[in-house]
Structure 1
């Protein structure tokens, strides 16, 4: 903390996406095709569930030997390639559970720390902007003390589980599992839930193999769209083609990134595939994915060279402003709204649509970077910090921070744009303080969010948020220097054009330096004192 303000993190260019995934529908499957896919998915799903249970039982005792033993057991009931895909998926799921466990412990610690602080204060003590005050009454203090005991018990149990290597994992999803007890609210019958539950637990996936024909031996897609799978050993009787393969009767063609996918499989580069069933629509889909080589991000100075678009993220819209390289706002503020209500699919589509409009505007503006806050509300969502402010907690919980980061980086990279992440501290407060009122006009309504977009953009460009520094003394303006903090001293046109010190420009000289008439010759022997005043052009604010 410096002067009551915490130290701000430096802006940085976010790394680009490391993978690509595309999807296409498997249309017009025959009943036999669906039977084969269901049987294969159910068989391999049981193997995946069994392997995950074994991996969770191993805990921290996992080693290369235990992994090899699990893979040998799976190979006897499937194939070596399928066994490798199952064990890899198991390891990824276990690692994800460990990360979620660490985040849960961090949330509990934040809540416990807030409770202990507030319980230590006198009842009714006022809080500050950075720390909550005491509780309002003895009754609230008592209930919060009981909650502290409950959170400490949860924290101790979570820490013991983490130290022992125990995780809680549900194949198919814990939310879907809990839906079984609330079928009426979910508007599902038991048969519908059972069908969705089984489909989520199926496993029809294959990892890519570089150097193999068309990039995959288990699930193969040819350039003309023919799809075939290699059934596991116990289901080898289902094969209807050469080399023990089953060929589906459908043809696919990826409309999005189809040429990139075709180039990869033609060169026999690795492509992973996954087949799944959408039970709500009754449709089968095939997803192709592959990794991209690590690309070095452009330097921060290069991203700043042509200005940025500063974006303030809110619960229902993005407030954006275009800034030039000197930090000056250009044009009018823009807002890109989205509807966060509804299903997950609807929210995802709304975010994609808003980001698409934002990126298109950035391309039209001619910038090479979009500046956005590096938001993380892990400690802000606890009810201990904002217990009475339920609407505020719901507001910050509705901001799609994680999904927004992933989608924005991926979509911007396809358009040649970089993402500059900045520290979110004080952007709304300082933006409103220094930019909201000066930019407001009878025809332009500036909101706090628009001003925050300017603050974010200026921070990404390396400029201070405040609009001007304190002016120099009146009698020392030339010696103290220009008062703006928006342009560096070496910037061309920073101070504008100024007459030389030896040029006594008369009052009737226009700004372009040409006289309206020639001066008359002096009729006295000695020059009289000049009655003209010095004229200096107003300083041009390019910064």
Structure 2
């Protein structure tokens, strides 16, 4: 890494842009309408029974901890098969394994977060009171009272870290079927505006288990929950509930039919060829509606090569708390037209936020298709390590801002939706895009008819980085009246220069190519320059004597 000017920290290395992989799975949903009272009674009974089996299996898996192996997994499956069926037992044990693995990943992330907070507190507590910090690291605490409060928080985090680290080493996880957030809502019913009966209905519905994995080669791709091409839904009942069946072989046929308008043809092609399709039935307690979700895996969509994705230019997108800032760039990195902004609102419920993101992405993708570009450049954002309380201190609103941005869901949804439109997603390193974009592109692109914001300039910087160009603009060529001719633009960094995007250092000496910068040291000796009205011409003139050889 090339060093910057004295007193400045060197730039960190930038990751190479890459084309994000396409989605590897599909999920569609349809509502189960016109269910009879008998249908709902059967669904509740099956869900509650299988939910109890799933809770028992999760308890057994958590008890095994690190001692879990293939034999213990097979033993749990045999126990569940005796009270249900082999396919239901396989689905439950697989869901249990996935839930335990997710809890372990969350536990590891929690340990890392506690370690980061403890290290930050220890460093700041070791600094003198009132010591100023830098742009990258906070300084000492402002007062003795704040120092004392942070020392108490450090002790609390250390005690919490000791307990979590012990659980991690022992392979012990703390997981709740139905969700820990809904469980804690039981103690705050007034804040949630729920009665105990309403909370109980939500809690029971979340703990039901009405799902079945698909199996290729079986009729319509699933034996447990079967959906025919004409939309008929039937369920294979567990052995203890076989008396509730209304069809042969212990099956119950629902009165409702599904259609799957979205991706219906793709779903119908799979079940008619008996390829695996997984189904899940769940109840939305707030609306009182039953839904059926179908999902299946498919080969990863082959992404475009990076060179092909850059051939028709790029749309650079800057992600912000309330909008996407987008700018169209040609293959040479030149901005075309005016900036576009696609607004959304991340307040409210999770469903509202998800809908806002989907609508904004839909508008962005449609506009990208109209511009003729084949790729979208976006920052590879990850705020997992940036939301800690100790890192940003009093900046509570900033912590809430970056915590509320659904970066993970946004990337997954953008990649999935872009693949359906035939667009590639180029992920770039987010370092310095806002700073350099504002420095090099905001002022040149601002006019009386175009107002540029910092976010618009950042979208240009992101697009140029996705195209493989440097963010900064090229310097203008010298004028015709200078000593050298108009030629290629000067002071250009090579494509492999690691510090090519940083601010150019000021080099002493003349700026023309007719004289090297080394000769700039003679500029201070004015007497060596023969100029009019200079002191060298004011001295008395004397003619040298003639040589004797003449």
Change beyond 3 A, Cα 1:74–1:2: farther
**Please, which runs of 5 or more residues in structure 1 have no aligned partner?**
489-543
Select 1:92's aligned residue among 94, 98, 108: 98
| Partner SS for 1:385 | helix
Compute the displacement of 1:483 (Å).
Answer: 4.2
**Counterpart Cα distance in 2 of 1:435 and 1:106:** 38
After superposition, residues 14-93 of structure 1 pair within 5 angstroms as 14-93=20-99
Residue 168 in structure 1 maps to residue 174 in structure 2:
yes
Contact residue 48 and residue 90 of structure 1 kept, 8 A = yes
Cα distance change on mapping 1:2 and 1:142 into 2, 3 Å: farther
In structure 2, distance between residues paired with 1:226 and 1:476 = 82
Is 1:361 aligned to residue 361 of structure 2?
Answer: no
Once residues 17 and 57 of structure 2 are traced to their aligned partners in structure 1, the CA distance between those partners, rounded to angstroms, is 43
Alignment partner of 1:7 is 2:9: no
SS of match in other structure, 2:164? helix
Determine the structure 2 residue equivalent to 1:194: 200
> What's the offset of the Cα at 1:385?
1.4
Could you state the TM-score of these two structures normalised by the residue count of structure 2? 0.86
Where does 1:164-243 land on structure 2 (aligned, <5 Å)? Answer: 164-243=170-249
Q: Does 1:427 align with 2:433?
A: yes
Counterpart CA distance in 2 for 1:60 and 1:471 is 67
Q: Secondary structure at the match of 2:389?
A: coil
**Structure 2 counterpart SS, 1:384:** helix
Unaligned runs of 5+ in 2: 4-9, 496-550
Rounded Cα–Cα distance in structure 2 between residues aligned with 1:162 and 1:477: 70
1:302 deviates by 1.4
Residue equivalent to 2:160: 154
1:417 alignment partner, one of 416, 423, 438: 423
- Is 1:475 the counterpart of 2:483? The answer is yes
Deviation at 1:352, TM superposition (A): 0.3
- Quote the offset at 1:125 in angstroms: 1.2
The offset of 1:179, in angstroms, is 0.5
Q: How many residues align?
A: 487
Cα drift, residue 443 of structure 1 = 1.2
> 1:373-418: CA deviations, max 9, x gaps?
1111122111111111111111111212111011101111111111
- In structure 1, the residue matched to 2:409 is 403
| Separation in 1, partners of 2:41, 2:338 | 58
| Match of residue 106 from structure 1 | 112
Greater CA drift, 55-64 or 370-379: 370-379
Report matched runs for 1:531-542 at 5 Å. none
Write the distance in 1 (CA, Å) between the matches of 2:163 and 2:2: 38
User: Residues 466 and 40 (structure 1 numbering): CA distance in 2 closer, same or farther, change over 3 Å?
Assistant: same
Query: With structure 1 as the length reference, what TM-score do the two structures score?
Result: 0.87
Residue 460 of structure 2 is matched in structure 1 by: 454
Cα separation, 1, equivalents of 2:483 and 2:396:
55
- Taking the aligned partners of 1:463 and 1:229, their CA distance within structure 2 comes to 57
Q: CA deviation digits over 1:27-53, x for unaligned, max 9? A: 000111111100000000000000001
Report SS of the residue matched to 1:298: coil
CA displacement at 1:486 relative to structure 2: 11
Q: Does 1:389 pair with 2:378?
A: no
Q: Alignment partner of 2:391: what SS?
A: coil
Q: Is the 8 A contact 1:326 1:487 kept in 2?
A: no
**Residue 186 of structure 1: CA displacement?**
0.8
Whether the 8 Å contact between 2:31 and 2:289 is mirrored in structure 1 is yes
Does residue 260 (structure 1) correspond to residue 274 (structure 2)? The answer is no
Secondary structure of the residue that 1:349 maps to in structure 2? helix
Match of 1:137 in 2: 143
Deviation of residue 156 (structure 1)? Answer: 2.2
Output the CA distance in 2 between the equivalents of 1:472 and 1:124: 50
The alignment partner of 1:361 has SS state of helix
**TM-aligned CA distance change 1:484 to 1:222, over 3 Å:** farther
The question of whether the paired residues in 1 share the 8 Å contact of 2:314 and 2:374 is answered with yes
Residue-by-residue CA offset, 1:87-110 (whole Å, 9 max, x unaligned): 000011011111111111121122
Residue 472 of structure 1 deviates from its aligned partner by 6.5
